[in-house]
Amino acid sequence: MSSINGVGAAEQVQGHLSAIADAVEGLCDSDLTGLSDDELTDTMRRLEKTLRRASAVGHNLIVESVERSLPGKLGHESVNKLLIGVLRISAADASARVTAAKALGTWHALSGQPLPADLPETAAAQRDGDIGPDHARAIREVIRKIPHAVASSDAAVAEQILAELARSATPEDVEKAGHSLLAHLNPDGNLTDDKDRTRLRGIRLGRQDKNLMTPISGHLDPETRALLDPILAKWARPGMNNPDDPESPTGSTEHPTVDRDQLAAAAGRDTRTAAQRNHDAFKEALRALLGSGILGSHRGLPVTTILTMTIDQLEQQTGVATTASGGIVPIKDALKLAERSHPVLVLFDHNGRPLHLGRSKRLATADQRLALIAADRGCTRPGCDAPATMTAVHHVHDWSKSGTTDIGVLTLGCDGCHALIHDGPGGWQTRTAPEGSEYAGRTEWIPPPHLDPEQKPRINHRHHHPKELLDRARRKANARRGTGMRRRNESWPRRDVRGEGPAADGFP
């Protein structure tokens, strides 16, 4: 048995476990009511960091079990079965833990030398307690989707960027930024695009069951999704087209006959899931299309597909365009869509700034809303993923406090986030980022003290501007790659993060 300073390994591990048990018991018996608000949130953060680091220990326990063939010795068919039997966890939980251990655990060569993890930067971030299992899962899913035609060196650095991003972002941020990163690695979609989309597209209608219900499944190509999103945004809104509510308005939310108070009351009674609302909207839309084909307008704009791209993308016909509902459409498909329909195409200059559109009235014009859709792409509150189709125009400086309806001081906000802006306790504030700052002209949201005692202004990069998250993470990742990392790369042959041979550094 190995030992350190005369203490056996078993004694050391048991000592650590006893300390953890004593600490947890002490916390369970602690009177949390005596903590201040700041102390309570700080306790939550410190406990979460400790639990995240404990997950890294769990990975290595699984690795050790596999490397010493423990499942077979104890009569289990696999390490999954071992975990289920020993820990009394579900099969799904066991599978998730084993998958994580394969990518993040410290495995060993036959000589006993430790090998770098398949996702080394992600593993390091979890050992530091900066990311949790959901962060790691999001990174693994992005890396898994990188086409094999992409160089292994690019895949390795992509993992590094995502791991750095995860240290300061949510798992949803990582997932969304990962989509942008995948588009960057394959901007034209020509590595997995045309043939795969042609092969995968389709809608399957199953046979009616005993309840006369028909199962439906399939895949929509980007063009079809871009056409469907704005329709669902109007027709699947809570309170609309509810067959279980005789008072629910039918058709489009913006139809002149829809009573706003009636809609608000119906929304309050609406208990349908999002999937059920989509179904009811789809049914009502089909009925309307068969009858008249007229869809009306949505939030003051015609129901159409709004595409945003840069002048460079248009000229080079490469990259991806975004839609008002948050979708991503390859440039080639976007231009094809423009040929067949009447979408609104919004082009931005190299700085990505909209034109000045000002007016003395409180309500924004349709042109101003179009500019905001192209610039903001959705609700601007940090962490909110509501697309532009689900937002209203918000005055950064309140209209009632002499704010103006100029494009430079207007932004998009969903109804829920807009309600958070107030002067009372827990209220958020908004302002325009000043010239000379990193994101000049963008809307900054200032959180209340209980979320951030320093009340640092925040920008919503998450779902609508993921490239900014990636750029910032890339800069941090490059700064972090110091002497220690270079020594590790020299001493350990770095494996492809997809498990396919050595990987080099570098990212175009």
Amino acid at 125: A
SS3 of residue 267 by DSSP: helix
List pLDDT tens digits, range 381-432: 887 878 877 787 777 766 555 555 565 667 888 877 888 888 877 788 888 8
Q: Residue 219 has what DSSP assignment?
A: E
Q: Is 243 helix (H, G, I), strand (E, B) or coil?
A: coil
The residue ranges of every structural domain in the chain are 3-186+469-491, 358-461
Q: Which residues contact 265 (CB under 8 A, 6 or more apart)?
A: 239, 247
Q: Which of 108-117, 185-194, 341-350, 460-469 has the lowest mean pLDDT?
A: 341-350
pLDDT of residue 79: 93
Strands 297-298 and 301-302: antiparallel
pTM of the model: 0.54
Structure tokens at 501: 């041979």
How far apart, in Å, are the Cα atoms of 482 and each of 62, 125, 489? 31, 16, 11
State phi, psi for 319 to the nearest 5 degrees: 100, -160
Q: What is the pLDDT of residue 94?
A: 93
Beta strands in 170-311 (DSSP E): 202-205, 216-219, 297-298, 301-302, 306-310
Cα dihedral sign, 25-29-30-33? positive
What is the torsional sign of CA 181, 185, 187, 191? negative
In 3D space, the residue among 302, 342, 309, 338 whose CA is nearest the CA of residue 323 turns out to be 309
Asked if residue 363 has pLDDT above 80, the reply is: no
- Asked if residue 89 has pLDDT above 70, the reply is yes
Identify which has the larger pLDDT, 458 or 289: 458
CA distances from 175 to 139, 222, 229, 385, 489 (A): 7, 18, 20, 12, 27
Q: Which residue has the higher pLDDT, 293 or 88?
A: 88
How far apart (Å, rounded) are the C-alpha atoms in residues 417 and 421?
7
Question: Phi/psi at 242 (nearest 5 deg)?
Answer: -90, 110
Do the beta carbons of residue 434 and residue 459 sit within 8 Å? no
Residue 504 pLDDT > 50, yes or no?
Answer: no
Residue 407 token pair: 């494009």
d(CA 335, CA 307): 10
Lowest-pLDDT range of 35-49, 119-133, 243-257, 471-485: 471-485
Name the more confident of 394 and 275. 275
What average pLDDT is seen over the chain? Answer: 77
Task: Answer yes or no: is pLDDT of 9 > 80.
Answer: yes
454 C-beta neighbours (distance < 10 Å), count:
6
Q: Quick one: angle between helices 79-87 and 37-67, nearest 10? A: 130
pLDDT at 328 over 80: no
**Which position has the token pair 């082009």?**
347
Region 266-294 average pLDDT: 78
**Mean pLDDT calculated for residue range 355-363:** 42
How many beta carbons lie within 10 A of that of residue 478, not counting itself? 13
